[in-house]
């Protein structure tokens, strides 16, 4: 072979060592549970993506709720916009451990907004279920 010796197929390192440098094939610090290169980053991306999707749905739902549902007042619209802005801000702060707790609180506040209009409660329940699944995936991947 010309060039450096290759390790096992699929390990991503030309000399056969793991990313942590252990020639036995295990990364430094023990085996990875998930098989992801950077599980923290993957989980943060899941949380951020969930929150951004929630913000987008909230903002886009304003007009259909007004047309179909009728009496969506200024307070309800302001609440929806504030919740969407909070979701976007939290999505940018997913590196902080408290952001996961704040995201859970956000889901509860969205369900409480159902007092302003029933459709906000429906959206709150749907996104609380999605957020619960994201928390489950986080627990499975990170342990």
pTM summary value: 0.74
Among left, alpha and beta (phi > 0; psi -120 to 50; other), residue 21 is left
pLDDT for position 33: 61
Mean per-residue pLDDT, 9-29: 50
**Mean of the per-residue pLDDT values of the chain:** 82
pLDDT for position 117: 86
Q: What percent of the chain has pLDDT over 70?
A: 75
Task: State both tokens at 60.
Answer: 């886009």
Residues 6+ apart with CB under 8 A from 18: 11, 24, 25, 26, 27, 28
Q: What is the largest CA-CA distance in the chain?
A: 74
Other beta carbons within 10 Å of 88: 16
What dihedral do alpha carbons 102, 62, 114, 44 form, nearest 10°?
Answer: -20
Domain boundaries along the sequence of the chain: 39-142
22-40 tens-digit pLDDT: 454 445 555 556 677 889 9
- Give alpha helix (H) positions in the chain: 39-64, 74-92, 98-112, 118-142
- pLDDT tier at 17, thresholds 50, 70, 90: very low
The answer to whether residues 113 and 80 touch, using CB atoms and an 8 Å cutoff, is yes
Q: What is the DSSP letter of 5?
A: P
């Amino acid at each position: 072979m010309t060039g450096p010796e290759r390790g096992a197929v699929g390990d991503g390192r030309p000399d056969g060592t793991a990313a942590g440098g252990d020639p036995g094939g295990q990364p430094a610090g023990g085996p990875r549970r998930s098989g992801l290169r950077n599980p923290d980053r993957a989980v943060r991306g899941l949380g951020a993506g969930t929150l951004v999707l929630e913000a987008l749905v909230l903002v886009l739902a304003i007009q259909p709720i007004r047309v179909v549902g009728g009496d969506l007042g200024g307070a309800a619209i302001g609440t929806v916009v504030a919740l969407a802005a909070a979701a976007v801000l939290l999505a940018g702060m997913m590196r902080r451990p408290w952001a996961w707790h704040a995201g859970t609180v956000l889901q509860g506040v969205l369900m409480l907004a159902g007092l302003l209009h029933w459709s906000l409660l429906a959206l709150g329940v749907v996104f609380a279920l999605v957020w619960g699944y994201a928390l489950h995936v986080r627990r499975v991947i990170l342990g």
